[in-house]
Structure 1
Amino acid sequence: MPWLAPAASAGTAEDPGRPAVHDDVDAPATLQLDADAFEALVVDELDRLPDDMVDCLDNVVFVVEDRPEDGSLDLLGLYDGWALTERDRYGVGELPDRIILYREPHLAVCDDETALRDEIHTTLVHEIAHFYGIDDDRLHELGWA
């Protein structure tokens, strides 16, 4: 899987088509972005992933939620499904696997839009890798955790 090469620090050039990120003067040093704008960033970053990474995703939906069920800010994303390596059968009528990205935890760890895009990208690669059966230990080794 060439798309799962070790992570590199990725900086992105200014892109006028990106949604604006607005800082609230009275808010703590946390990036502010509404749900629609965050989802637009996720879609944009998903579109930027290599074709060979996403073309084989079968019966997978991407979901944006504000926070994990426990309300914490510790979890950036979650793969909810069965990895390809663990499927003994998979047929018609199966509920889709879900890749969930959590908006508020991402905003809490990012200072600006570039950092947010990088973190969304890393989270997408990380959770998609789980779909392919790659575990957290290997993702840590490769710098995708």
Structure 2
Amino acid sequence: MEMDAVAFEALVIDELDRLPDDMVDGLENVVFVVEDRPEDGTLDLLGLYDGLALTERTQYGMGELPDRIIVFREPHLAECDNEEELRQEIHTTLVHEIAHFYGIDDEQLHELGWA
């Protein structure tokens, strides 16, 4: 599947808007970023949470750099055959990475069906 960066970012924003309020209301000092692919150039990673989970924070406060949730465009496009599949995969990636912000690890995500 092919899609330019602008259209892909619009889908990510749309899927963010569709997430439940109680999931996103607690996100503090977090930015969402779209990048073409991970630094190592592979297509294996769909998203990444780059930050310190809420469960690990002690004296987190003013002046801290924001945590980042990165959605990788090219791996998503390689994984999906059409826009409906792409939307579903972006949604799953967002939920997965937001869960890491809240301290939910991959094992728990597997149990919940989000990994």
Matches within 5 A, 1:84-99: 84-99=54-69
Rg (Cα) greater in structure: 1
Structure (1/2) with the larger helix percentage: 2
What per-residue deviation string (whole Å, max 9, x for no partner) do you get for residues 29-49 of structure 1? xx1000000000000000000
Structure 2 unaligned blocks of 5 or more: none
User: Does 2:75 match 1:105?
Assistant: yes
Task: Give the whole-Å Cα distance in 1 for the aligned partners of 2:47 and 2:96.
Answer: 8
Partner of 2:96: 126
TM-score (norm 1): 0.79
**Distance between the aligned counterparts of 1:109 and 1:64, measured in 2?**
16
User: How far is 1:89 from its partner?
Assistant: 1.0
Which amino acid counterpart does residue 54 of structure 1 have in structure 2?
Answer: V
Unaligned runs of 5+ residues in structure 1 are 1-30
Q: Does 1:117 align with 2:102?
A: no
Aligned-residue Cα RMSD (Å) equals 0.3
1:49 and 2:31 aligned: no
- Are 2:24 and 1:62 equivalent residues in the alignment? no
Quote the offset at 1:91 in angstroms.
Answer: 0.8
Measured after TM superposition, the shift of residue 55 of structure 1 is 0.5
Aligned partner of 2:8 among 11, 31, 38: 38
What is the percentage of aligned positions where both structures have the same residue?
82
**What TM-score comes out, normalization by structure 2 length?**
0.99
State how far apart, in whole Å, the 2-side matches of 1:93 and 1:103 are.
30
